[in-house]
Structure 1
Amino acid sequence: MTEQAIATALACLIAHLLADFVFQTNAMVAAKRKPGVLLLHGAIVFGLTTLALGGSLIPAALLALAHIAIDALKTYAVPERQRDRLWPYLSDQIAHLVSIAIFSFFLPNAFASGLWANHSSTLIPPALFIAGLITATLAGGPAVGGLMLPHKAQAQPDGLENAGRMIGLLERTLIFLMVMIGEPAGIGFLIAAKSILRFDTVKKNQKISEYVIIGTLASFGWALIAAFATKAAMNSF
């Protein structure tokens, strides 16, 4: 893949991650069966892609249409009780990534023809960092949640509403930052701290203990993969 195609793909990826994980609320996800909500999400994708590509309207419109089609397939084809599980989520995200790759292959100059073309060498490193951070943190939440969903009813620890989601977000953020600054050894202290804080909760119930262990390992693993992949990508530029 040429440098121009890589710049185009990265711009589209940033727009996708922002549209799906920053500017898409839980209420929008829940109401996406309504055509207006689905179209609103597509409009956000279009706007962010246009901005990321530096004003390339037609390429942004094509990618937004592909995004709407993929989301519509998941929304209307996957039963509602299955939609939040891991494989529908991963399949949906893989389909978006494939569409971005195909788009960048056939329209590699979409970024080069935009306003930011002369600044690509300056923009790529921070864009990679932002993409990696969103992937490690916000994109990891639905993945871990989808993995744990079948066990949630029988092993969900008592606690504050959405506390587990916030804890997972914070721990993935810390893991990502530790890897990026070259201090992955600090992750061991994070594991130890969480084990101590959770000890009294999990020792009383084996199901809760296994639920917490699996969720923690999945969250840590996701963040580590995203962080090391981001670091490797940044080191190549």
Structure 2
Amino acid sequence: MVLFTLAYGGYAVAPYGDEGEPWLTLAVAALLSLGAVLWKHPAGMPEMGFSFALPLSVGRLAQTRRVSVAVFVGAVGLGVWSAGETSGSLGVDLVLSDGVAVFLSAALISVFGGGALAKAATGPVRAEILALPDSPERRAAVEFMSAGRAIGLLERGLLFAFLAAGQPEAAALVLAAKSLARVPTSDHGKHASEYFLIGTLASVIASLAMSMAARSAVGLPVL
């Protein structure tokens, strides 16, 4: 991952080799790649068929994760430093912007408040699944539900972002992608299908309501 980032990034910035900022951008990308590798493989580098050790990627999990966080922070710091005064003025504008505060607040309510709404709406179905006698169908349904929270957070975040940007067509693509990747099968039983439909509908309602409220608050059309 890191080598590919360096190779392709070098190819991309080569036409601008006489400028400094593209190379700083490449350095930021390489640091982000390294941080991701260290976070994903805390016990060491992936097996490559021969002995190869990096001091940063060995040791206990907590130590390597701390190194990963430090690399991420260094990448962000380098990116901010390379942007110079532009990042400072942009940061001030974002902090003082009422519109940013409105959309950020609405996004948080949509993502996390919508999660509470989805949990409450799917509660009866979840209880029915847990009350089923032990069987392959029950185990498949419980496994299906176990991944619901993380996917729901991502789903509501993307839905809100597209709806708030005035792109409901893109939001529809999010739902289509989720349906293709996560639609329950006959092995999961009818309860899992009910859980999927109710949870998706709750996420859509939360994202749509908060995006409409945020756009209306800043004087934009609700859709």
TM-score by length of 2: 0.47
* Greater RCO, CA 8 A, separation 6+: 1
Larger Rg: 2
TM-score by length of 1: 0.44
